[in-house]
Amino acid sequence: MVKVDRVIVMGTAAAFSEEEVRACTLCECRNLQDLNLSECFNVTDVLLQRIVEGCPCLLYLNLSCTLITNKTLRELSRNCLNLQYLSLAYCYRFTDEGFLYLATEKGCHNLIHLNLSGCTQMTLNGFRYISAGCPSLKEIVIDDMPTLSDSCVLALTARCHCLCAISLLDAPHLSDIALEAIAEVAKLRTFRTEGNNQLTDNSWKALCRSSQGLRRLHAAECSRMTDASLKSVASLKNLHHLDISLCHKVSDTGIQYLTEGSSATKLRELNVSYCSHITDRSVMMIAQRLCKLYHLNLSYCESLTDMSLEWLSGSSVCSLDISGCNIQDQGLAALEGICLKKFIVAECVYITDIGMEKLCKNVRDLEHVDVSHCVALSDPAIRAISFYCRGLVTLRMSGCAKMTDMAVQYLTSGSQYLRELDVSGCVLLTDRSLRHIERICPPLCSITMAYCSSISKVAALKLRPRVKHWEHSNDDPPWFGYNIS
């Protein structure tokens, strides 16, 4: 338990006794405003009743992953007059009837944030009751609910006209009807959906027309999104974050709309990973026109070549992910005049030690580097990273089977600020590497050594008390063809 002034956090405290919670709540916490009971599986309806009766000032209540029932919702509706934030995510034991209390009792009418993720037991009636009882609702999260239907969204928006943030991840059955209903009543600043193959260009046209103030749009794996959708997105005036990963129909034309749109000078984060039709031309337009772009994810865009990295030279990008792209040493060598802090190049199987050295010579401010499964890399690549990038904080090199103890020696000699290290699957590393790693604990606080078959359990366990996060196994790496079953 963590208690700070008016905040109590008991999250993941599954073994808390009723006596501990009751004593803390009733005796000391009359002014309690924030309470997190997430994953406290022994918290009962009776205990929650005592808590809400003794804490009239509650504003924030997180009950996610608990076993509460309709009885708790009844007590919340009776006692929590000021409650603004409520999470019931992954609570499976309440029913629609629990929300009927919201419409009939005096409490919870000031709710502005509600999280119902994973509550697949809810039906149309539940959303009707929420709409009637919480007309001031501004933010709602309904992720991981594949049972969510258009009718549920229509019921919710019947009276909830103040919504400005909606998250509908993993709601595959929603259609244009749902988004058009949202567009009619809401002025959104944040909208998130993912894994939907029903939403067409009409949805995005309606949403972008009604919510010109939209700042964050997450529309990953929406298979029917096309360039026409991006033409609508381009009309937004304050878009800061856009994720259209796995939208396979988006091409250079859509990116052109975006880079010539109203938010070209506002966009800070762009994720187009797995957009297979995007070419170097898109990267050229992104680099030239998105002048405030900080994070760019191009991972698994299979049509990109080394030329794309040449275009990014001199750009504003500080965080770049090109995992799984067909990039070679020439591309890495061309990347210069850019203040990269984070560089993810995992599974780029064509890059070699030579390319990494040329990159590090040109880009010396790197703090977070991921070269996982770059199978051609060996010790000289780590030598270059540690020698040129003195501010390195995180290094992930899992699956780099050519790395030896010498790589770790290079790393620990030059990277005095290193905090996180992942060497999983580096099968040539031995106990000698751990003796080098011990010398940088602290600042090193996280070490992952899964599938390190040449590092003994005894040596690995000696390191465990020195770090906050520790992981080790002697198993053979599955990506080498072992453990196929």
Question: How do residues 56-69 score in pLDDT, each as one tens digit?
Answer: 888 999 999 999 99
Report yes or no on 292 lying in a domain: no
Reference 252, options 273, 283, 298; nearest CA is 283
How far is it, in rounded angstroms, from Cα 107 to Cα 102? 7
Ranges of beta strands (E only) in 211-335 are 216-220, 241-243, 269-271, 295-297, 319-321
Report if residue 280 sits inside a domain: no
Whether omega for the bond prior to residue 443 falls within 30 degrees of 0, making it cis, is: yes
| The pLDDT value given to residue 181 | 96
Interatomic CA distance for residues 106 and 41, integer angstroms: 28
CATH code of the domain covering residue 16: 3.80.10.10
Asked if the structure places residue 326 within a domain, the reply is no
User: Does the bond joining 477 to the residue before it have cis omega, within 30 degrees of 0?
Assistant: no
Contact 328, 351 (CB under 8 A): yes
pLDDT confidence tier of residue 24, bands split at 50, 70 and 90? low
How far from 237 is each of 39, 263, 357, CA to CA, in Å?
40, 5, 41
Q: How many CB atoms lie within 10 A of CB 368?
A: 19
Better-predicted residue by pLDDT, 333 or 30: 333
- CA 244, CA 242: separation in Å to the nearest integer? 6
Identify whether the C-beta of residue 362 lies closer than 8 Å to the C-beta of residue 387.
no
The structure's pTM equals: 0.90
The answer to whether residue 367 sits within a structural domain is no
Name every residue whose Cβ is closer than 8 Å to that of residue 21 and which is 6 or more positions away in sequence. Answer: 10, 40, 43, 47, 51
Q: How far is the C-alpha of 465 from the C-alpha of 157, rounded, in Å?
A: 52
The reported pLDDT for the residue numbered 43 is 87
Report DSSP state, residue 324: T
CA distance linking residue 285 with residue 298, whole number of Å = 14
Answer whether residue 457 is part of any domain: no
Q: Does residue 3 belong to any structural domain of this protein?
A: yes
Q: Rounded distance, CA 48 to CA 356, Å?
A: 56
- What mean pLDDT comes out for the span 423-445? 94
Extended strands (E) in 255-294: 269-271
Q: Which residues pair with 469 in a beta bridge?
A: 446
pLDDT per residue as tens digits for the range 139-185: 999 999 999 999 999 999 999 999 999 999 999 999 999 999 999 99
Confidence of residue 95 (pLDDT cuts 50, 70, 90): very high
Residue 312 lies in a domain: no
- Number of structural domains the chain divides into: 1
Kindly state the tokens that stand for 289: 């026109």
User: Which pairing describes strands 2-4 and 7-9: parallel, antiparallel, or unpaired?
Assistant: antiparallel
- Residue percentage of the chain with pLDDT more than 70: 93
Q: Residue 1's pLDDT is what?
A: 42
What domain range is 78 assigned to? 1-163
Contacts of 474 (CB under 8 A, 6+ apart): 452, 453, 455, 456, 457
Please provide residue 379's backbone torsions phi and psi, each rounded to the nearest 5 degrees.
Answer: -55, -40
Note whether residue 23 is domain-resident: yes
State the helix-helix crossing angle for 124-133 and 150-157, rounded to 10 degrees.
10
